[in-house]
Amino acid sequence: MTGYDLEEDPSIGRVVLTEHQIRERVAELGARITADYRGRAPVLVAVLKGAAVFVSDLARAIELPVEIDFMAVSSYGSSTRTSGVVRLLKDLDSDITGRHVLVVEDIVDSGLTLNYLRRNLRARNPASLEVCALLVREGADPTELDIRYTGHRIPSDFVIGYGLDVGERYRNLPFIAVYAGDRASGRNPPDPAANA
């Protein structure tokens, strides 16, 4: 049950990652994080709203006493995208000073959101600061962006499902698919940056 009649929704395009593929990759990431953070109690900082689904599965794949906290940010549309304007909408509840922080993101596209978060969180003097992104856009350089854990690299298509939305819809799809657009209105996929 997906809550969508897939046959009837032409906006749900080609499946990029099946539910099974996501589950396997999340388990692998969880195992690596468990090994890397052995003996420590990391704080998973998930970026709302997109990473909410991913962090709930990832946290259960980590066999350590993790804490989960949330931040919400918004980045502005194409005109401001390159200017680096990211706004903090919701801050963490907890103090991360001296803690091992793992930022959990749904997708890293331009890296703008991630760079903002990294600067913002580093200023609070965590013991360590790493990033786990389920999806990283091809073209984005994971080395330059310093993403420790990457789930999958995906092409430039706008994608939906497993937390990722278009206008708040499709977050509950258990798989990730290309957004095929609203054919009825002929609209194109939205600018990802306006949709963090």
Question: What residues are labeled active site?
Answer: 109
Distance CA 166, CA 136 (A): 18
159 binds ligand IMP (CB under 6 A): yes
108 binds Mg ion (CB under 5 A): no
109 binds ligand IMP (CB under 6 A): yes
Residue from 30, 111, 126, 151 in contact with ligand IMP (CB under 6 A):
111
Name the segment binding ligand IMP (CB under 6 A); options: 25-33, 58-66, 95-103, 110-118. Answer: 110-118
Residues in Cβ contact with 3 at an 8 Å cutoff, skipping those fewer than 6 apart: 172
CB of 132 to ligand IMP, least distance (A): 13
Give the residue with the Cβ less far from Mg ion, 37 or 46: 46
106 binds ligand IMP (CB under 6 A): yes
DSSP letters, 72-126, are EEEE--HHHHTTT-EEEEE--SS--TT-EEEEEEEEESSSHHHHHHHHHHHTT--
Residue from 26, 71, 103, 107 in contact with ligand IMP (CB under 6 A):
107
Instruction: Answer for the pair 71, 117: CB distance below 8 angstroms, yes or no.
Output: yes
50 binds Mg ion (CB under 5 A): yes
Using Cβ positions, the residue closest to Mg ion within the complex turns out to be 50
Q: How many residues bind ligand IMP (CB under 6 A)?
A: 20
3-class DSSP state of 150: strand
Q: Torsions phi, psi of 144, nearest 5?
A: -65, -40
Distance CA 169, CA 167 (A): 6
113 binds ligand IMP (CB under 6 A): yes
11 binds ligand IMP (CB under 6 A): no
Instruction: Answer for the pair 72, 52: CB distance below 8 angstroms, yes or no.
Output: no
Q: Which amino acid is residue 5, in one-letter code? A: D
Residues forming contacts to Mg ion in the complex (CB under 5 A) are 50, 106, 196
Contact residues toward ligand IMP (CB under 6 A) are 47, 50, 75, 105-114, 158-159, 164, 192-193, 195-196
